[in-house]
Amino acid sequence: MEVDNSHKITTTISRLLGIFWIIDGILQLQPRMFSADFVNNVLTPASLNQPDPLTHLLQFGAHFFQYNIVVTNLCAALIQLIIGILLFFPLSSIWNKLGCNISIVWGVIIWVFGEGLGGILTGNASFYSGAPGSVLVYILITLFILFKNRFSIYKLPFLLGLLFILDAGLQLQNVFWTSDGLQSLFTGAASGQADWLTAPVIGVANTVALNPKIANMVLILLLLGLGTLIIYKPNYISASIIVGFLLIVWWLGQGFGGIFTFLMGTSTDPNTAPVMILLLFPLLMQKVLLSRPQVANTPENL
């Protein structure tokens, strides 16, 4: 008889999501986050190349945040730490639900004002640099946790497949068929990073610039192929292949989210690739849990 491990899987994903929020909160406490550097390096760039109404909204958000940046930044960090703690240490289902609800509301605020909707309306957003935004993935996962009776946790890999296919559509944008556009997509991951990290990234950037049309077609086909694979063949092997792909993208395209600039940078989160791995946990954990001997519900074990 097949064992339903959905509760264990949901609990594990919830706690791991809590860790991501805690990391985000710690990153928000970096010294430069309490200065104009955070506004200039994170909030202002999010408003560039956006539709006019969204640009005005994001500029308003940046001005509001900068009005008393020490207080607003400290509040932002504390909110993220509280969400993380509530998700990682669910003392009861009520506290877990509270953490999920705050996560969704705060996540929407960050996705709009901090990530500019993941840049999907700018004409140069790419999965390989982090689109559609890590916080959007946080929100989607949280919805599955909060409404677990309505949304099966086992559908998360299917969701990842859809995201990959949508991301392939973003990669069709005109900018990625040019040498400069495709090269800058990868060189952005090297900004402010250590030499050991930047050398391979620069190498990839220079390589794709040699023939951007072929290189971009490969990037599109990778997303379409892996998205289709996880939708139609959702198993441990498919999940493992995609984990490897996401880790490579996290390095070469997303620069580990800039976390290695900790204390000296303005990185706000580890970026999108690592949190997408959580979408594969129903397959990865089910394989591990089913390989363990099941304990019978005898009176001695109750």
pLDDT value of residue 199: 85
pLDDT value of residue 2: 44
**242: in domain:** yes
For the chain, how many structural domains are there in total?
A: 1
What is the domain range of residue 144? 6-289
pLDDT value of residue 195: 76
pLDDT value of residue 272: 97
pLDDT value of residue 290: 66
pLDDT value of residue 232: 96
**294: in domain:** no
**198: in domain:** yes
**Closest C-alpha among 215, 54, 66 to residue 126:** 215
Bond from prior residue into 132 cis (ω within 30 degrees of 0): yes
**295: in domain:** no
pLDDT value of residue 3: 56
**49: in domain:** yes
pLDDT tens, position by position, 62-100: 999 988 999 999 999 999 999 999 999 876 788 999 999
> What is the reported pTM?
0.92
Burial classification of residue 158, based on how many CB atoms lie within 10 Å of its CB (0-12 exposed, 13-18 middle, 19 or more buried): middle
**298: in domain:** no
Using 50 as the pLDDT threshold, list the residues of the chain that sit under it: 1-2, 295-302
C-alpha distances (whole Å) from 262 to each of 28, 258, 266 are 10, 8, 8
pLDDT value of residue 149: 85
Cα–Cα distance measured from residue 19 to residue 276, given in angstroms and rounded to the nearest whole number = 14
